[in-house]
Amino acid sequence: MTLKKNDDIRLEITAFTSQGSGIGRFEQIAVFVDGTAPGDLITAHIIKVKKNYAIGKVQKFHKKAPFRIESDCEVDSRCGGCAYRYITYEKELEIKRQGVNDAMKRIGGIDIECEEILHIEKPENYRNKAQIPVGISAEGKIIAGFYSKKSHRIVDCDDCKLQNKDFSLIIKAVKKYIYENPVTVYNEETGEGLIRHVYLRKAVKTQQIMVCIVINGNSIPKKDRLIESLLATGLGIKSVVLNKNKKDTNVVLGDECEIIYGSEFIEDELCSLRFRISPLSFYQVNPEGTELLYGKAKEFAGLKGDEVLLDLYCGAGTIGLTMAESVKQVIGVEIIPQAIENAVENAEINGIRNVRFICDDAKGAAKTLYDEGIRPDVIVVDPPRKGCSREVLETVSRMAPERVVYVSCDPATLARDCGIMKELGYNTERLCAVDMFPRTVHVETVVLLSQRRPDTHIDIKLDLSELDVTAAETKATYQEIKDYVFDKFGLKVSTLYISQVKAKCGIIERENYNKGEGKSRVPQCPPDKEEAIMDALKHFKMI
């Protein structure tokens, strides 16, 4: 039977997509059905048929998957915010972990098992930030909430289970101001109307709240009444900001901010440090999850105290600053000027001095640092969803750090980039998912990439009879040189690097290592390590 629109078919759901819908097979055709889970047996009503797949909706359940639960949200079936409220959280974690493994294999060609997925205690009301679109219903009611799935239809909701509970009171206060004054709300189709989004942030440790009203204009009428209405909530509102966005765009925030009440920033505490956050600076949305994430990133970084650490895409400096006490120097790079201003202030208010922040695009900054001769021992990258460009990854690998810690909010682009790093000489050694976004399709991931060690991945033939062993050569063993360099400079150097420097100094005349039959690129000793090895050779009076 060929599948047609409006058919009703019996379907067994056998898998989940990474986008949160169930899939069943009907005669070789994959049928996607929202709100279903593997183990469900349903009658599906087909609403769309394409060449290789179809989309259906549940007509009737015949059998339900054992891990199904009742959703506790009234608007769950319409809202695009949550994806998994109808299954247990344990099952969701299992699905996410499997999804990360699959992406690494399918997209990156990397066979690695994700470690136990880290998650917060209670997957409720964890979001400290909300960008809530404001609109008007057909009946003329002011509405605010998430968009419905794959559309820009606003689902009015004043009891979101993901967001901080204070946010619904603030939304009520903004709606009151809109009704009473009255103020227009933005219409995406016509480009008219004033209030576009209410953008909220709460620093949960300090209770400070920032309310940012995104407007399609330069000012709002009777702004004192808005401020009054907000302060009447009795919440810790520390800052009220107007963000001006007059563009016809899906990007929520415009570039210009005007503070209309209180402070330019709010301050939060994270990993025992204090962080100042401006409206345009990125700040992780799940504070408890962030501590788990940064903890894992630090573990992967394997810091000993002497490293130069490059924090690419550093936002307000958070990752680098939480690692600063464990390294010699942190260099942070970020493209948004306000975020870099915060990063500099954050270093200052925490008394951290071994940091340098650069406001630039990651690609350009990495090149400049490379040209300056900076060779970080560890590089942390935490790019936006689209991942890193190949150029960034190439410069990262040319800097030859021992370890790269890649933090990502999109397993697909992470997997792609790990595949590129493999070509560039870095193995994915560890993989851990952190569920920063419970009940939604999203998951955060962190991987450890390690430089393929020449002494473990390239066969080294140290056949003494083949070497021109001079008197000098016998003076210090490779191990003694390694120990000296580590003790004096805190640098780890491989046998390969030592032999390269020895060859350069004329101590040995030929390369005494096998180049791996052309299969792998032979890493070249970076300048800082070369200098350290030279120092050792001088110390042992070999040059």
Instruction: Rule CB under 6 A: say whether 331 interacts with ligand SAH.
Output: no
CB of 152 to ligand SAH, least distance (A): 24
Residue 480 tokens, joined: 């003694």
Residue 351 tokens, joined: 């008394």
CB of 21 to ligand SAH, least distance (A): 28
x/- letters, 234..273, toward ligand SAH (CB under 6 A): ----------------------------------------
Instruction: Rule CB under 6 A: say whether 414 interacts with ligand SAH.
Output: no
The H or E element spanning position 179 is: helix 166-180
CB of 200 to ligand SAH, least distance (A): 18
Q: Which of 198, 214, 339, 476 binds ligand SAH (CB under 6 A)?
A: 339
User: Closer CB to ligand SAH, residue 381 or residue 498?
Assistant: 381
Window contacting ligand SAH (CB under 6 A); options: 19-27, 126-134, 378-386, 502-510: 378-386
Instruction: Rule CB under 6 A: say whether 340 interacts with ligand SAH.
Output: no
Residue 343 tokens, joined: 């990063």
User: Closer CB to ligand SAH, residue 101 or residue 284?
Assistant: 284
- The span from the CA of 529 to the CA of 484, in Å, is 12
Window contacting ligand SAH (CB under 6 A); options: 11-19, 45-53, 63-71, 310-318: 310-318
Q: Which of 167, 300, 313, 478 binds ligand SAH (CB under 6 A)?
A: 313
- The span from the CA of 156 to the CA of 134, in Å, is 9
x/- letters, 352..371, toward ligand SAH (CB under 6 A): ---------xx---------
CB of 96 to ligand SAH, least distance (A): 19
CB of 80 to ligand SAH, least distance (A): 22
- The span from the CA of 440 to the CA of 146, in Å, is 12
User: Closer CB to ligand SAH, residue 184 or residue 326?
Assistant: 326
Instruction: Rule CB under 6 A: say whether 318 interacts with ligand SAH.
Output: yes
CB of 350 to ligand SAH, least distance (A): 15
- The span from the CA of 44 to the CA of 115, in Å, is 36
User: Closer CB to ligand SAH, residue 21 or residue 164?
Assistant: 164
The separation between CA 502 and the C-alpha centre of its own chain, rounded to angstroms, equals: 42
Instruction: Rule CB under 6 A: say whether 377 interacts with ligand SAH.
Output: no
- The span from the CA of 531 to the CA of 228, in Å, is 64
Residue with the shortest CB distance to ligand SAH: 315
Q: Is the dihedral of CA 323, 329, 332, 338 positive or negative?
A: positive
Instruction: Rule CB under 6 A: say whether 284 interacts with ligand SAH.
Output: yes
Which of 491, 176, 445 lies closest to 304, judged by CA? Answer: 491
Window contacting ligand SAH (CB under 6 A); options: 163-171, 332-340, 346-354, 526-534: 332-340
User: Closer CB to ligand SAH, residue 113 or residue 361?
Assistant: 361
CB of 323 to ligand SAH, least distance (A): 11
CA–CA distance from 320 to each of 332, 348, 382 (Å)? 7, 13, 11
Residue 409 tokens, joined: 């909010």
Instruction: Rule CB under 6 A: say whether 319 interacts with ligand SAH.
Output: yes
* Amino acid in position 304: K
Active site includes 212?
Answer: no
Q: Which backbone phi and psi does 87 adopt, to 5 degrees? A: -125, 165
Window contacting ligand SAH (CB under 6 A); options: 130-138, 154-162, 329-337, 511-519: 329-337
Q: Which of 145, 315, 425, 523 binds ligand SAH (CB under 6 A)?
A: 315
Residues that contact ligand SAH, how many (by CB under 6 A): 18
Instruction: Rule CB under 6 A: say whether 345 interacts with ligand SAH.
Output: no
Q: Which backbone phi and psi does 336 adopt, to 5 degrees? A: -90, 120
Window contacting ligand SAH (CB under 6 A); options: 29-37, 251-259, 328-336, 348-356: 328-336
CB of 310 to ligand SAH, least distance (A): 12
Contact 334, 357 (CB under 8 A): yes
Contact 420, 392 (CB under 8 A): no
Residue 293 tokens, joined: 């994430």
Catalytic residue among 409, 418, 432, 525: 409
Instruction: Rule CB under 6 A: say whether 335 interacts with ligand SAH.
Output: yes
CB of 281 to ligand SAH, least distance (A): 7
Residue 433 tokens, joined: 């998912």
Number of H helices, E strands in the chain: 13, 22
Q: Which of 382, 394, 417, 444 binds ligand SAH (CB under 6 A)?
A: 382
The separation between CA 296 and the C-alpha centre of its own chain, rounded to angstroms, equals: 13
Per residue in 492-515, is it b (16+ CB within 10 Å) or e — as a string?
ebbbbbbbbbbeeeebbeeebbee
Window contacting ligand SAH (CB under 6 A); options: 116-124, 247-255, 377-385, 471-479: 377-385
DSSP class per residue in 272-310? TEEEEE-TTS---S-HHHHHHHHHHHHHHHT--S--EEE
Locus of tokens 């120990």: 483
120, HSE (Cβ side, Cα atoms, 13 Å): 22
200, HSE (Cβ side, Cα atoms, 13 Å): 30
Instruction: Rule CB under 6 A: say whether 495 interacts with ligand SAH.
Output: no
- The span from the CA of 483 to the CA of 498, in Å, is 12
Window contacting ligand SAH (CB under 6 A); options: 73-81, 278-286, 426-434, 443-451: 278-286
Instruction: Rule CB under 6 A: say whether 384 interacts with ligand SAH.
Output: yes
Is residue 93 exposed (0-12), middle (13-18) or buried (19+ Cβ within 10 Å)?
buried
User: Which residues bind to ligand SAH, rule: CB under 6 A?
Assistant: 282-284, 313-315, 318-319, 333-336, 339, 361-362, 382-384
Q: Which residues are catalytic?
A: 409
